[in-house]
Structure 1
Amino acid sequence: MQSQLDLLLLGTGTSSSIPSVACLTDQTKGCWCCRSTLDKTDAEGQKNARRNTSAVLRVKPSQPDAQEKVILIDCGKTFFSAAVEHWPKAGLREIDAVILTHAHAKSIPIYCTQETFNEVSKTGGGDIPALTWHIFPPDESFELCGVRVTPLAVHHGKFFTTPPSPYPCLAFLFNAQILYLSDVSYIPETVWAQLDVELALARRPVVRQQNGTNTTNGDVAKKEKPRLQALVIDCLRIEPFTSHFGIGQAVQAARRLHAEKSYLIGFGHRTSHAAWRHFCELMSTSPPTRTSHPVAASEPIPSAPNMWELYNGHPDPTKEDRDVFAQRALQAVEAWETGADASEKGGEGDVWIRPARDGMTIRTGPSGVDDDEYH
C-alpha cells in the first residue's frame, strides 16, 4: 500500500543560486532570466529565483490521531531564506529528521577556540538544539519516520586525483514512490541494478548482437514491481557538465526510470523557467517533437560566438528566444540518443517531464501523482 508522501521543493537551482548579483547589477549584459526576478509582482519572473537544491518530504499520517512527519533533504546556504518564504505558506513548523545527499566539495576554514569547538560540535551553538548523528551505510535501505529510504550512490563529478576518482553523492528513493536525484553526473550500473530490483523500469532499446540475435538492455518490467510515481532529477543546462547532467542525460535517465511524472531541478542562470517549460512540453508530446536538423552522434555544441543558443536563445543576453532554445535542447536529446553508449541509453516510449520551481509541492500516494504547478 502506497503512503501519502508530499515533496516540497525548497530549492531548484545551482549551488550558487539564482539570480546572479552580477546580472542584476548589469543593465546591458545581465541575463534576462536573472533580471526577470527584480519585479516582485511578476509571478513568472519569480519562478526564475532558484535557491540551492533542497526539499522537505512530508509523511502524511495514516491514522486520524497521528501527526505528520517532516524530513528535510539537505540544508544548505539558502535554507533559511527558503524556510522564511515557504514554510508559513505550507504550514510547516518542525523538522523530525535531516538527511544529506553529500558534503559540498568546497569547505570554509573556521577558526575558534577548543572550548567553542567542543560546544558547537555537540549542539550547533547558540539556540540550535543538539545534533544527533545517525550514520547509515550508503548501500542499505533504512526506515525513517515510517518511510523506507533507499540510498543510491551516484557520481557527482570527480576528484582530480591521479587517476581521477568519482565524487560520491546520494540519491534517495522513498517508499519506491519518489526518487530524488539532485546532484548527478553519472548513474553507475550497480545503481541501475538496485533500481531494477525496486521498480518497474522501462523496456530498454533493442541491441543487435554480433551473432545476429537481438537482445534488450534489461527485461520488460515485471508487473509485481511498482512504477515510480515521481522523479526529481538534476539538469544544469543543455550540455553536460563535469558534475551535473545535461538535458540529454536527464531525459534518457527519465525514460529508463519510467516515472509517471519527471521534474527537472538544478538549473543554472541564463535560461528561464518558461524556456525550460517550452522545451519540456515539446519533449512530452506523443510522439516527441523532433528537430528538422540532422543530428550528429555527439553533443551539438555550436561555435563560441553562438553559445547563446544553448542558454537564452538570443544573441542579446537581456532577451530570450524560447523557440531557438527549445530546438537546441531537442537536438541535444536526439544527439544523446544517437551517441550514448548502451549503458546510458534510456527506455522506449514517451516521457512526461517539466521544470520544477522553488516552492512547488509534488504529491504522491494511492491516488497517483500531481503537483501545484502543472496538476
Structure 2
Amino acid sequence: MDVSGVVAENAPAKPRSTLIFLGTGCSGGIPIATCLLQPTDPPCHVCSQSLSVPPERNPNYRCNTSLLIDYCPIEGEDNYILIDVGKTFREQVLRWFTFYKIPRVDSIVLTHDHADAVLGLDDIRSVQRFCPTNGIAPIPIYLSQETMDSVGAKFPYLLKKKDQEGRFARRVAQLDWKIIENDCKKPFVASGLELVPLPVMHGEDYVSLGFLFGQKCKVAYISDVSRILPTTEQYISKSSGQRLDLLILDTLSKKDFHTVHLGLPQTFDILKKLCPKRALLVGMNHEVDHYKDNELLREWSAREGIYVQFAHDGLRVPIDL
C-alpha cells in the first residue's frame, strides 16, 4: 500500500514522515447503500465489486475523505495530525489505525463543517489518552470561525471546558478549540508542522479550506472544492515559485460538472495550471472504478508529463516534510 517517489531532491533515502489516506470517498461512502438495496439492471459495477473482497484489499471500498499526517521531524518522534473526522471515522480507526499501529491523534485540522468532515468528532475519544481523574491535555483542533459555530451547535458537549483535575471525568473527547483564518497569509502550527490555509469555493456560496504543508516537500491538500480562488491558485502554482511536490485534490466523478465538487475534466485543467510534480485524487463517487480509470489517468499522465492517480483507502505515502 506504499507509494514511493514522493520525496524531495537530495532527501534521505527513507523519509521519516508519511501520509496515510484514511478515506478517499464521497460523503455517502462506497458502496452506496441504495445501489445494494435497490439494485439497477445491470447492477452498479463499482458498488457491487466493492463488497466482493475484504475492504483492506479493495480500492473501490471508500470511507469519507480524510488524511493522517505522521510527521516526524526528528528521528523517533512521531506527531499524528488528522485532517477531517467524518461519519466513517470509527471504521477508519478500526481498519487503518490498527493496521499501521497508529496509537493516537495529536492534533486535528478541519476543512469545513459538512457531515463527512466533522460527524466523527465524538469518536476522537478512542484515539486520545484517557485518565479517570481527567488529568489529560485536550487535543488541539484547528478550524475556521464559521466551522466552529456549526460544530458547536452539533456537539455542544464537546465545547465544554475540561473539568477540574481530580474530579471524575465524563468519557467524551477532550478538545482544545483553536480558530484559524481563511487566509493564505495566516499560517498556523499543529504538532510542530506549519500549515497554510488555502481557501477554495465548495459551491458558489461556501468556503472550504485546503492546506499547504511541508518544507522539504510541498504538499497541498484540497479535499472539497468546485473552484479554486485566484489568490489560492497563485499561491500554489508553479509560476509562483512554490511548485508542489504533491497535490491531493478532490475529484468526485468523471463528469465535467457538479455544483460543489470537481469533475475529472476540471481536475485536468487545474493540474495543467498548477503543474504539480505528482497528484493523487480523492473524494470519488461510484462512477470511478479504481482499476479501469487509473489506466485512463496513466495515459493522460504520459501525454501531459504530470503523474496523477486515484488514491485509495489505506494508501501510505512516505514523504520527507
Place the TM-score, normalised by the shorter chain, in its bin. 0.7 to 0.9
Shift of the 27–169 alpha-carbon distance from structure 1 to 2, 3 Å rule, reads closer
Give, as a single letter, the amino acid of the residue that structure 2 aligns with 1:34: C
Which residue of 1 is the match for residue 295 of structure 2? 278
Q: Is the 8 A contact 2:254 2:288 kept in 1?
A: no
Is residue 240 of structure 2 the alignment partner of residue 228 of structure 1?
no
User: Shift of the alpha carbon at 1:95?
Assistant: 0.6
Is residue 185 of structure 2 the alignment partner of residue 172 of structure 1?
no
Shift of the 195–241 alpha-carbon distance from structure 1 to 2, 3 Å rule, reads same
Structure-2 separation of matches of 1:11 and 1:236: 13
User: Shift of the alpha carbon at 1:29?
Assistant: 3.9
User: Shift of the alpha carbon at 1:105?
Assistant: 7.4
Shift of the 93–350 alpha-carbon distance from structure 1 to 2, 3 Å rule, reads same
Scaled by the length of structure 1, the TM-score of the pair is: 0.64
Give, as a single letter, the amino acid of the residue that structure 1 aligns with 2:180: F
1:134 aligned counterpart, secondary structure: strand
* Equivalent residues in 2 for 1:12-161, closer than 5 Å: 12-25=24-37, 26=39, 28-40=41-53, 46-64=58-76, 67-104=77-114, 119-122=157-160, 126-139=170-183, 140-158=186-204
Structure-1 separation of matches of 2:92 and 2:213: 23
Structure-1 separation of matches of 2:223 and 2:214: 17
Which residue of 1 is the match for residue 146 of structure 2? none
Shift of the 118–183 alpha-carbon distance from structure 1 to 2, 3 Å rule, reads closer
Shift of the 284–133 alpha-carbon distance from structure 1 to 2, 3 Å rule, reads same
Structure-1 separation of matches of 2:59 and 2:93: 16
User: Shift of the alpha carbon at 1:363?
Assistant: 2.0
Structure-2 separation of matches of 1:126 and 1:77: 22
Shift of the 131–21 alpha-carbon distance from structure 1 to 2, 3 Å rule, reads same
1:284 aligned counterpart, secondary structure: helix
Q: Is the 8 A contact 2:112 2:208 kept in 1?
A: yes
User: Shift of the alpha carbon at 1:60?
Assistant: 1.3
Q: Is the 8 A contact 1:152 1:170 kept in 2?
A: yes
Give, as a single letter, the amino acid of the residue that structure 2 aligns with 1:357: H
User: Shift of the alpha carbon at 1:59?
Assistant: 0.2
User: Shift of the alpha carbon at 1:42?
Assistant: 8.6
User: Shift of the alpha carbon at 1:7?
Assistant: 1.2
Which residue of 2 is the match for residue 336 of structure 1? none
- Corresponding residue pairs, total: 261
Give, as a single letter, the amino acid of the residue that structure 1 aligns with 2:219: I
Which residue of 2 is the match for residue 293 of structure 1? none
Q: Is the 8 A contact 1:230 1:364 kept in 2?
A: no
User: Shift of the alpha carbon at 1:88?
Assistant: 1.0
Structure-1 separation of matches of 2:54 and 2:187: 44
Structure-1 separation of matches of 2:28 and 2:53: 21
Q: Is the 8 A contact 1:34 1:270 kept in 2?
A: no
Which residue of 2 is the match for residue 257 of structure 1? 274
Give the unaligned 5+ runs of structure 1: 109-116, 159-165, 202-218, 289-348, 367-375
User: Shift of the alpha carbon at 1:191?
Assistant: 1.2
Q: Is the 8 A contact 1:232 1:265 kept in 2?
A: yes
Q: Is the 8 A contact 1:10 1:358 kept in 2?
A: yes
Is residue 236 of structure 2 the alignment partner of residue 195 of structure 1?
yes
Give, as a single letter, the amino acid of the residue that structure 2 aligns with 1:173: L
Structure-2 separation of matches of 1:88 and 1:172: 26
Give, as a single letter, the amino acid of the residue that structure 2 aligns with 1:96: D
RMSD: 2.7
2:160 aligned counterpart, secondary structure: helix
Which residue of 2 is the match for residue 364 of structure 1? 319
Structure-1 separation of matches of 2:52 and 2:190: 41
Q: 1:248 aligns with which of 265, 271, 291?
A: 265
* Equivalent residues in 2 for 1:346-365, closer than 5 Å: 350-365=305-320
2:203 aligned counterpart, secondary structure: strand
Q: Is the 8 A contact 1:123 1:129 kept in 2?
A: no
Give the unaligned 5+ runs of structure 2: 1-7, 120-154, 163-168
Q: Is the 8 A contact 1:36 1:48 kept in 2?
A: yes
Shift of the 120–186 alpha-carbon distance from structure 1 to 2, 3 Å rule, reads closer
User: Shift of the alpha carbon at 1:226?
Assistant: 4.9
Structure-2 separation of matches of 1:257 and 1:27: 39
- Runs of 4+ residues deviating >6 angstroms: 105-108
Which residue of 2 is the match for residue 333 of structure 1? none
Structure-1 separation of matches of 2:50 and 2:161: 37
Structure-1 separation of matches of 2:289 and 2:299: 16
Q: Is the 8 A contact 2:20 2:317 kept in 1?
A: yes
